[in-house]
Amino acid sequence: MSVAWAARNWDEVPCEILFSRFDEESRIRDARTQVFSKVVVQYRYSYDGKEFVGDRYDFSVGESTGNYGERYMAAQQLKAGNTDVCYVNPENPSEAVFRRSTGLSRDDKLLAWVPVAFVAVGLLGLVGVAVAFCVPKKKSEVMQAIEAAFPRQEWKEARAVVLEYGTEEHEREIKRVRLAVIKLSDGNLDSLRDAVKEAKADYRDVLMWSDG
């Protein structure tokens, strides 16, 4: 779970779906038939001018009996050639994930937290455990900047415009430039589009204007 927790701060990057499928298998365990499933996906993305191919869907380990319906629907929506977003580890760009979840069912999550709860009880007490479970998911710095600059109804469109930077191999310093174009836009979508266009031509100009 530590990797899934750290991935809250990974960079959001556009990716192209290369292929996907839904795998399922019925197995008999403890005299019961259980259906195990997983989403298999491969996607291509660019980061700091380099191209990578990722195949991690989420942070689940192997197949799972939980969230069968969600996995099935997700696999049906992942069509080869479509564009989506993945999350890239800025310290190791070859490491990426398509969905920043553990892929565990509710019961699996509760079981996974049992040893953590015992340790927390010994160190901090029951109050500390309750606080740990209530920590909200942290949004990316870019998304925070978008929400601060634009009205709620424009968040989706502004995000799509910002993500246009970073799709080409020559486009560098993705996170820094995205924050710069948001700053230069002053909360205006047309200005945001102009700033992204300038960044794609020469990102150094945008960084200079933003710092000035």
Q: In this predicted model, what pLDDT tens digit does every residue of 148-198 receive, in sequence order?
A: 999 999 999 999 999 999 888 788 899 999 999 999 999 999 999 999 999
pLDDT score of 212 more than 60:
yes
Predicted pLDDT of residue 199: 93
Token output for 171: 């486009």
The pLDDT value recorded for residue 181 is 93
Q: How confident is the model at residue 3 (pLDDT cuts 50, 70, 90)?
A: confident
Query: What global pTM score does this model have?
Result: 0.48
- Tens digits of per-residue pLDDT, 80-137? 999 999 999 998 999 999 988 765 444 444 444 455 555 555 666 555 545 454 555 5
Asked if 162 and 181 count as a contact pair (C-beta separation under 8 A), the reply is yes
**92's tokens:** 């190791």
As a whole number, mean pLDDT of residues 61-82 equals 73
- pLDDT score, position 117: 53
* pLDDT exceeds 90 at position 147: yes
Q: What is the pLDDT of residue 101?
A: 72
Model confidence at 66, pLDDT cuts 50, 70, 90, reads low
- Find the mean pLDDT for residues 13-39: 78
Which segments of 90-140 does DSSP mark as H helices, in order?
Answer: 106-123, 126-133
Given a cut of 70, whether residue 22 has pLDDT beyond it is: yes
pLDDT, position 49:
87
Nearest partner of 38 among 54, 22, 52, judged by Cα: 22
